[in-house]
Amino acid sequence: MQLVKKPYTAETDENLMKEVIKGDSRAFSEIYDRWSKPMLNYFYKMLWQDREKAEDFMQEIFTKIIHKPQLYNPSRAFKTWIYSVANNMCKNEYRRAEVRKGTSNSLHDNIIVHDSSAPDKEHDKNIFNDRLKEELELLSENHKKTFILRFKHDLSIKDIAEILETSEGTVKSRIFYTLKKLGENLKEFSPVAKTIMVGMCLIELARYII
């Protein structure tokens, strides 16, 4: 007779979800501990850096797990499943935002709603980071999602393709396009550009001396 269960921290997400479906609250607690932070930050990035909205969405996704855990297919990786659910929630929110935008003077006219407690202010002095943040917000939703999933959440091309329900080639293409666009917009920060600018300054200085 087994009296002591294997520690939940050693279990995979998929096994934990099986326990959640059976009604194990400790398994749910472990799932929450693992995924609440990534989900919160994903929603924060994807939903105009609105912390309250991000927290609402994060709570909503776990409420879905509580009420409809059978939506999860155990044969599928939990990570891609939860990101795809989050992605669909974001899509719905974008649609709602478009509707609001059409019917009223919406806030979300490419306007970033900054949470007063957002940690981004810590990096305000870093020009590159500020510029990059701005450029990311200007990206299309699909490019932005792909870029964030790739570089913020360290997901593979394959996983991103599964989450976004698209092909790997499309994902690669989106990533490359984003990099190219950001490179163009932030070229003053590239080493070559810096070298050229320093060279031009030196030439101007020489001319002035002569």
Kindly list the residues in this chain that would bind another protein in the complex (CB under 8 A): 3-5, 7, 19, 22-26, 28-29, 32, 36-37, 40-41, 44, 51, 54-55, 58-59, 62-63, 66-67, 118-120, 122-123, 126, 128-129, 132-133, 150-152, 154-158, 172, 175-176, 179-180, 182-184, 186-187, 189-193
Residue 31 CA, chain-centre distance (Å), reads 19
DSSP 107-148: S-SS-----TT-GGGGGTT-HHHHHHHHHHHHS-HHHHHHHH
Choice between 66 and 99, CB closer to another protein: 66
Minimum gap (Å) between residue 18 Cβ and another protein: 11
Minimum gap (Å) between residue 47 Cβ and another protein: 12
Minimum gap (Å) between residue 98 Cβ and another protein: 26
Torsion of CA 78, 82, 84, 87, to 10 degrees: -160
Choice between 99 and 196, CB closer to another protein: 196
Which ranges of 3-124 would DSSP assign to H, the alpha helix? 13-22, 25-46, 51-67, 78-103
Minimum gap (Å) between residue 88 Cβ and another protein: 20
Residues in the chain: 210
